[in-house]
């Protein structure tokens, strides 16, 4: 295969957190990243024509309808239908156009809700999914299985899937009600510090554990995979292999932001699963590991927050 700088690359989801971090890390690589207005991924004919016209050597699929628990529960039809259509249209469009390489991004929500930690790639479809985001998970499983089936029928096509753990970083959503855990903590502690508030509330007892990786590390993993598609496993977790408690995340944010207040716990609030941790055995064997520490990642994310979300 050609060196990465010689490949024509098509990126979907270029406006999202993963896409924007990838574009920043990619330097002068030739990456076509059409907006949803330029290319409607839910329209199979549009996707087929676009791929045949642009003739990419590699497609990186990072687009999708995403949201938290409340959004998934409110619109399971949309999360299943839209993500299923996007995945199918893109992968089959690439297949029919003989695109040699496709890197599909999945999510750890594809794993069974009752699976033992750490979560290994061969656990897919071995148990019931988490009901709150089942529609999204089914769509992601369909896409990764489609890539695997294509590999079985045409092994020369490098259609493979990365499964990132939870992410945070620049271009994240810092909305007070709609953000995920780490940007929400950054916003809460920042507001407390700015407003002279000495207490911040944590839902539950804070002992639940979560694995959050800096989005810039995933960007580097994608670039390495794009360069080495032939050696990349067909399905590979992309995470840290270790986790932190909710309390740890709050305290690290407090340390980075130099806020000296105290935390209280609301034990009446839901906390979700006690742990969700990825196995990194395949990634380790392949030669990749995330390099950004939690404190460094939070510091970089806070800098982005200050530059883009405060007046």
**Which positions are catalytic?**
136
Give the residue from 135, 249, 159 showing the smallest Cα distance to 202: 249
DSSP 137-151: HHHHHHHHHHHHHHH
Cα separation, 247 vs 217, in Å, equals 23
Residue 261 burial (CB count, 10 A) = 14
Residue 273 burial (CB count, 10 A) = 12
C-alpha 40, offset from chain centre: 21
Torsion sign over Cα 293, 297, 298, 299: positive
Report the relative pairing of strands 101-105 and 199-203 from DSSP bridges: unpaired
CA dist list (Å): 22 to 25, 63, 211: 5, 13, 20
């Amino acid at each position: 295969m050609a060196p990465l700088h010689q490949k024509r690359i098509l990126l979907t989801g270029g406006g999202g957190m993963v896409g924007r971090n990838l574009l920043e890390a990619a330097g002068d690589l030739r990456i076509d990243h059409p907006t949803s207005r330029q290319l409607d991924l839910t329209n199979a004919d549009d996707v087929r024509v676009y791929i045949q016209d642009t003739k990419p050597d590699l497609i990186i699929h990072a687009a999708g309808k995403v949201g938290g628990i409340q959004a998934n529960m409110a619109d399971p039809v949309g999360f299943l239908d839209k993500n299923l259509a996007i995945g199918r249209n893109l992968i089959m469009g690439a297949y029919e156009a003989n695109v040699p390489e496709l890197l599909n991004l999945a999510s750890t929500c594809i794993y069974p809700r009752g699976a033992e930690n750490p979560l290994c790639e061969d656990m897919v479809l071995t148990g019931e999914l988490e009901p709150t985001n089942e529609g999204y998970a089914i769509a992601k499983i369909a896409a990764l299985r489609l890539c695997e089936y294509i590999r079985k029928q045409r092994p020369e096509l490098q259609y493979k899937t990365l499964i990132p753990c939870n992410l945070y970083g620049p271009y994240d959503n810092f909305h007070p009600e709609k953000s995920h855990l780490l940007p929400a903590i950054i916003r809460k502690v920042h507001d407390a510090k700015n407003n002279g508030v000495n207490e911040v509330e944590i839902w539950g007892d804070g002992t639940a554990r979560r694995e959050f990786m800096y989005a810039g590390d995933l960007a580097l993993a994608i670039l390495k995979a794009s360069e080495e598609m032939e050696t990349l496993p067909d399905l590979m977790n992309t995470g840290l292999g270790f986790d932190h408690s909710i309390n740890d995340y709050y305290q690290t944010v407090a340390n980075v932001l130099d806020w000296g207040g105290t935390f209280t716990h609301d034990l009446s609030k839901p906390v979700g699963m006690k742990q969700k941790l990825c196995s990194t055995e395949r990634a380790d064997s392949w030669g990749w590991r995330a390099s950004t520490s939690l404190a460094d990642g939070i510091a970089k994310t806070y800098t982005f927050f200050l530059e883009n979300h405060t007046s």
